[in-house]
Each structure stands twice: as structure tokens, then as C-alpha cells.
Amino acid sequence: MEPDRYNYLYRRYLDNNCSGEEIHELYVTIRDNTFTKENLLSVEDAVKESPVDLRLNPEASENILKSILKGAQVTKRKLNVKLYFRYASAAAILLISSFLVYNYFQRQVGSGKTFTNTTKDIKKILLEDGSSVILKSGSKLVQVTDFKQDSVRRIRLEGEAFFSIAKRFEQPFMVHSADGFEIRVLGTRFHLNFGKENKEVVLTEGRLSIANNKDKVVVSPGYKAMYSEISNTFQLSAVDTLMYTSWTNRQLYFKDTPLNEVINQLNTIYGTNNLHMHPKFKELQFTGYLPTNNIDHCKEILKKTFINQKLTFL
């Protein structure tokens, strides 16, 4: 990193004006030891100007320096003045780096929020920018950046959710997964599955892109993008969006779906394997809605739908 850029970032940090991205850039520079002599001198000067007292008392300073020297298997008696200051500089960098790391994560935790849906029902969340999220059961959402200060609104999703994003043309909205997938939007509505086995997005309104380190596609309303582990590409297909969004109203939507698949989905949704029917009914096709919070009601709807076929459950 160029000295001027480093000095600029570090002074902004001490003034508490750094964005999340700038703090990360500064931390990476210190972590990777990409310092020049000019950098190191500016750190020393900046520490003196810091509103936070970064200086340690003599005893603590001596203990840290002894620890560093011990790790390098160097005794204090054998050190010349030049080598001593080299390790002293290393100690200064270590202290500043630790301070930055601590404060970086403190800011992230302080400005961010975590939402976890541990219930069997859906969970509705209103973010501070006006965006709304409906979390499916077993899903988790983490706000990564400060929506009021950072140039990009970033969140991380584990599981499945439906998003209605507030439009901010100067501040894009990005959703990340733990394994390198990301969604980028401005203002839109979409269903997103960032589960362990599936990576797919269904767009109902607006425009978005989905990408990882191997592929990227732009998705239009009424289309689904699903990642293929075989080809390492995203596959686009036109879909009936109701099949992917009806769960937000506690409903399951089926269209010409074989009855055995309907039963399998109900057993999955309700966390049971007790719903069975005679094999002779498995080829019947069902179109309609079934509730996700009342399995007895589901059975009644199916019985009335196939009353002529005399559907019964075992």
C-alpha cells in the first residue's frame, strides 16, 4: 500500500470516520505486513494523536517484548541496538494490529444484528433501511455492514428467505452465503435459498445478479437461477413464482404435482413421516394450496379434492 493511502486510512480510523470496507483494508495491510519505513513512522506519529490511549504501561510493554524475543529465541543480552528496535517495531505493529482487529469486530458486532428462526413458523424481520425479510424455519440472517454509514448494504444468509428490498440507488444491497455465493440488487423482491445443498434464487420483481467465483448471471422477473455443481454454472429457467413464494403466507402451492410428491413435501414440512396413502393414489395430480401450519386441514383438503377417487390415508 502507498504511504499516503495508509496515512489517510489510519488517520480516518483514529478519528472514527472509517467505513467497514476501509477498516478491513487497513487491517489487511497490517496483517500482511505490507509496510514501508514511511508507513511505520506514520503509525508512531498517529498513535501519539490517537484519542484512545494505545500506549501500554512499562511492565506490560516489557512483557510483550520479552514474549516476542522468547519466540525468536533471542536473549536480551545478545541484542544490539538495531535488532532491539526491530523487535520493538514488531511489538508496536502487533499492538496496533491487535487493537484494529478488536475494534473492527467490535464495530461489526455493534452495528450488525443476527436473526435466527428457531421456530416451526415463518419469522418476519424489518431491517433498519426499510427492507423486509421473511425467514423460513431453521434459517439465519446476519447484518454484516452498517446500513447508515457503509456504501454497500451487506447481509449473510444461511437457509431460505424472501426479500423485499428498499430502493437505494446509491447504496446497493448484497446477500452473501458462507461458501462464496452472492446476490446483488438495488430494489427488488425475490426468494433465495442459500442452503447447504441448494443455491437458487427466484425473482418476482426488479432485477438482480447472482454469482460465485466460477459463474455469474443476471435474473429477470419470473425466472429462477439455480447453481449446478456438475457444470459449475447457473441454470436459468422460467417458473411459476407462486410455487416458491407461497410459503411466505404459510401456504404450499402445487401445480399438477403427483400426489406422492405432495405427501413427501408435507412430511418434510411438518417434520413427520406418518402421512401415508395407498400406492394406487400416487399418480393422481394435485393443483392448489395446502397450509403449512395445520396438517389435519391438509388431509381434509386432499380428501375433498379426490372425493371421487375415495382417497384415504393409512
**Domain definitions of the chain by residue range:** 3-111, 114-243, 250-305
What are the residue ranges of helices labelled H in the chain? 3-14, 20-31, 37-49, 58-71, 81-111, 242-245, 259-269, 295-305
The domain made up of 114-243 is a member of CATH 2.60.120.1440: yes
pLDDT at res. 17: 57
Q: Please give the Cα distance from 100 to 63 (Å, whole number).
A: 20
CB-based contacts of 189: which residues, under 8 Å, 6+ apart?
Answer: 162, 163, 164, 165, 203, 204, 205, 206
pLDDT at res. 50: 46
pLDDT at res. 135: 97
User: How far is C-alpha 286 from the geometric centre of its chain's CA atoms?
Assistant: 36
pLDDT at res. 169: 87
What fold does the segment set 250-305 form as a domain? Phage tail protein beta-alpha-beta fold (3.55.50)
pLDDT at res. 272: 81
Residue ranges of the chain whose pLDDT lies below 50: 37, 40-44, 46-56, 64, 68, 71-72, 74-79, 81-82, 84-85, 101-110
